[in-house]
């Protein structure tokens, strides 16, 4: 199971789509529970992937060090904005199985969204982590109207990221005209990325474009039972106040509270809405996002939800168009099964943007 551990509710940045730190009464800026309770709970899970999360997790390096010294887990990782990597000693970085660095693509796009100088800081962090031997580094993009998905993803792959993942800036942000943008720029860019992925696969190389890998995995190996991020059924988030949550974005919503580290918790039975149950893309999408299912209409209305859904369906359709050929390439030995096998829970990625 995936355990997303909030180390703090505080953040040192104020990105345009996020607004920075949580109010301390929602997600306290320090751990307010007994660490050993967390250890007991996680160690009951023989297959625990522990990912440090925030706020900005590196604002509380002491908790990361304590956890990595004291809690047995199969895998450790972190989702960080990449500006404070010097706060964690290098031996702990070397033990990270996966590091997700937030970067939105090219310098101008990243700095407009995240603040001047952030691109450079993340780029330096990336080079530092590689130089000390961290193997698996994932670029984690937030996609906005400023993004050119083809340009930004290929930029990040070209500078050496092993994997690139992204999320659309929808639902938890002010409503914007996603359909027009997607038809004009995003979806043509997705189709170009899919073509590029196939061209490289024909040469025996699998590109680490996470949404493409994640959708192909559902086609080739195992369909998703719910949102691919695992929210509530394969993944939980532990807030700094000890609440165990289904989704790390849903820190204010009662439906998200599965229990508390002092008293235990119960995983959810994910109920997808009728629209998803009837949808031909359900095996590859799993309903996309639990938060959007529960809260989407409240923020973006029915038409907004349907516009996001249109983008989801077109994205899946583009990836499925190459799926039979990818299967042939595996059967013919051009690409290896292990190169394409991808479980998003192990990396804390969501698959469907
Ligand atoms: S594509 Fe849309 S309707 Fe279909 S399963 Fe995904 S979220 Fe549900
Ligand atoms: S994809 Fe949705 S449900 Fe999953 S972690 Fe992100 S916001 Fe939560």
Residue 90, class by beta-carbon neighbours within 10 Å (0-12 exposed, 13-18 middle, 19+ buried)? middle
Is the CB of 296 inside a 6 Å radius of any atom of ligand 1?
A: no
Is the CB of 249 inside a 6 Å radius of any atom of ligand 2?
A: yes
Q: Output the CA 289–ligand 1 centroid distance in Å.
A: 9
Q: Output the CA 276–ligand 1 centroid distance in Å.
A: 5
Q: Once rounded to an integer, what is the mean pLDDT over residues 199-215? A: 97
Is residue 168 within 8 Å of 189, Cβ to Cβ? no
Is the CB of 313 inside a 6 Å radius of any atom of ligand 1?
A: yes
Instruction: Give first-to-last CA distance, the chain, whole Å.
Output: 21
**CA contacts within 13 A on the Cβ side of 270:** 24
Question: Which tens digit of pLDDT belongs to each residue from 124-172?
Answer: 999 999 999 999 999 999 999 999 999 999 999 999 999 999 999 998 8
Q: Output the CA 115–ligand 2 centroid distance in Å.
A: 24
Is the CB of 288 inside a 6 Å radius of any atom of ligand 1?
A: yes
Structure confidence at residue 16 (pLDDT): 84
Structure confidence at residue 318 (pLDDT): 98
Q: Once rounded to an integer, what is the mean pLDDT over residues 264-271? A: 95
Q: 188: closest CA among 311, 56, 30, 324?
A: 311
Is the CB of 282 inside a 6 Å radius of any atom of ligand 1?
A: yes
Which CATH code for domain 2-347? Answer: 3.20.20.70
Question: Which tens digit of pLDDT belongs to each residue from 328-343?
Answer: 999 999 999 999 999 9
What does the alpha-carbon distance between residue 312 and residue 307 come to, in Å, rounded to a whole number? 9
Q: b/e per residue, 243-259, with b = 16+ CB within 10 A?
A: bbbbbbbbbeeeebebb
Is the CB of 290 inside a 6 Å radius of any atom of ligand 2?
A: yes
Give residues with Cβ within 8 angstroms of 187, minimum separation 6: 311, 314, 315, 318
Give residues with Cβ within 8 angstroms of 108, minimum separation 6: none
Residue 327: pLDDT band with limits 50, 70, 90: very high
Over 90: is that where the pLDDT of 232 sits? yes
The closest-lying atom of ligand 2 relative to the alpha carbon of residue 227 is 4
Question: Which tens digit of pLDDT belongs to each residue from 75-107?
Answer: 999 999 999 999 999 999 999 999 999 999 999
Question: Which tens digit of pLDDT belongs to each residue from 26-61?
Answer: 999 999 999 999 999 999 999 999 999 999 999 999
Structure confidence at residue 17 (pLDDT): 84
CA distances from 174 to 40, 301, 312 (A): 40, 12, 19
Structure confidence at residue 19 (pLDDT): 78
Question: Which tens digit of pLDDT belongs to each residue from 1-35?
Answer: 999 999 999 998 988 888 789 999 999 999 999 99
Residue with tokens 């190169």: 339
Q: Output the CA 352–ligand 2 centroid distance in Å.
A: 10
Structure confidence at residue 352 (pLDDT): 97
Q: Report which protein residue has its CA nearest ligand 1's atom 7.
A: 287
Q: Report which protein residue has its CA nearest ligand 1's atom 6.
A: 287
Mean per-residue pLDDT over the chain, rounded: 96
Q: Report which protein residue has its CA nearest ligand 2's atom 2.
A: 289
Q: Output the CA 316–ligand 1 centroid distance in Å.
A: 10
Q: Beta strand pairing status for 163-168 and 137-143? A: parallel
Two tokens at 221? 């190996």
Structure confidence at residue 172 (pLDDT): 80
Q: Once rounded to an integer, what is the mean pLDDT over residues 109-123? A: 95
């Amino acid at each position: 199971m995936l355990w997303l551990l909030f180390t703090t509710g505080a953040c040192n940045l104020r990105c345009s789509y996020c607004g920075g730190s949580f109010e301390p009464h929602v997600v306290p800026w320090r751990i307010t529970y007994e660490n050993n309770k967390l250890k007991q709970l996680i160690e009951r899970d023989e297959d625990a992937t522990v990912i440090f999360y925030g706020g900005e997790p590196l604002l509380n390096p002491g908790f990361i060090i304590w956890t990595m010294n004291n809690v047995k887990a199969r895998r450790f990782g972190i989702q960080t904005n990449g500006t404070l990597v010097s706060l964690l000693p290098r031996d702990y970085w070397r033990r990270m199985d996966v590091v997700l660095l937030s970067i939105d693509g090219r310098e101008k796009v990243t700095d407009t969204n995240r603040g001047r100088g952030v691109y450079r800081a993340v780029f330096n962090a990336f080079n530092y982590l590689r130089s000390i031997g961290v193997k698996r580094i994932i670029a984690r993009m937030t996609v906005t109207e400023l993004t050119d998905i083809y340009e930004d993803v290929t930029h990040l792959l070209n500078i050496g990221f092993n994997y690139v993942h992204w999320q659309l800036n929808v639902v938890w942000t002010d409503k914007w005209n996603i359909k027009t943008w997607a038809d004009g720029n995003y979806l043509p860019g997705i189709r170009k990325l899919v073509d590029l992925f196939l061209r490289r696969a024909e040469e025996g190389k699998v590109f680490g474009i996470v949404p493409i890998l994640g959708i192909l995995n559902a086609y080739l190996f195992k369909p998703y039972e719910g949102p691919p991020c695992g929210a509530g059924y394969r993944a939980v988030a532990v807030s700094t106040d000890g609440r165990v949550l289904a989704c790390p974005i849903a820190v204010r919503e009662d439906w998200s509270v599965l229990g508390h580290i002092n008293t235990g918790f119960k995983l959810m039975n994910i109920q997808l809405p009728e629209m998803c149950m009837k949808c031909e893309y359900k095996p590859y999408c799993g309903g996309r996002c639990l938060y959007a299912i529960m809260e989407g209409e409240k923020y973006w209305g029915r038409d907004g939800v349907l516009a996001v859904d249109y983008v989801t369906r077109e994205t899946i359709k583009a990836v499925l168009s190459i799926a039979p050929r990818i299967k042939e390439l595996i059967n013919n030995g051009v690409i290896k099964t292990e190169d394409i096998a991808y479980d998003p829970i192990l990396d804390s990625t969501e698959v469907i943007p």
